[in-house]
Amino acid sequence: MKTIFTLFALTMSLITCKAQQVYPLNTYYEDAPNYSYMKDLNNELTPYVGTYKATYNGNEVILVITKEDKKLLTRSNDRKYYKDVLNVKYTVKDIATGTVLDDNINPTGPDKKELMSMGTNPPDNNSIDLGYDGTKCGIGWGRITLLKINTTQFKWSYYPNSSIFSGNDCPDSKNIKVYLPHTKNLIFTKQ
């Protein structure tokens, strides 16, 4: 009897168990069931992984780009899904003084500034779009596009969203300056 019950339970679990559905990387999360996996099937993210450097307006900008497979993401409408993403950590340093102006590699304090890939742009030679949370109170949030030039370089273009802001709108708004390069086609070179 115990064996029959065990076999019955095993059979029922196999029947009701659903395999996780895998979709291409750029699948819109609302077009797939909850807990689906948007996988980098063509290794489009991998060429961007590494440490890159550029200079802009007297600052040295270092990007450390890693790939995270199957990151669990949650949207405000309680949609949950897994996606392969690029995580970008950065340091912006004044070349003349050596002062670190902005850093999310070794951040101090409660600020968590995320810079993470949203997907690729096939019509644009598979450039990568990154979402940027911005500084305190979301100042500078927007999109950054990385376009691969060759195996060691890419172009950076930053498109911040405009927002009306007064210093009273953000508590402790002493440092709300965006130090990431606000420019188009800045060339970063792999180190």
Structural domain spans, the chain? 44-190
> pTM of the prediction?
0.83
Q: Grade residue 10 by pLDDT with cuts at 50, 70 and 90.
A: very low
The pLDDT tens digits of the residues spanning 76-124 come to: 778 899 999 999 999 999 999 999 998 888 766 556 678 999 999 887 7
The pLDDT tens digits of the residues spanning 122-160 come to: 877 779 999 998 877 778 889 999 999 999 999 999 999
User: Which DSSP string corresponds to 141-189?
Assistant: -EEEEEEEEETTEEEEEEEEPP----GGGSTT-S-----S---SSEEEE
Tracing tokens 């669990």 back to the chain, one arrives at 72
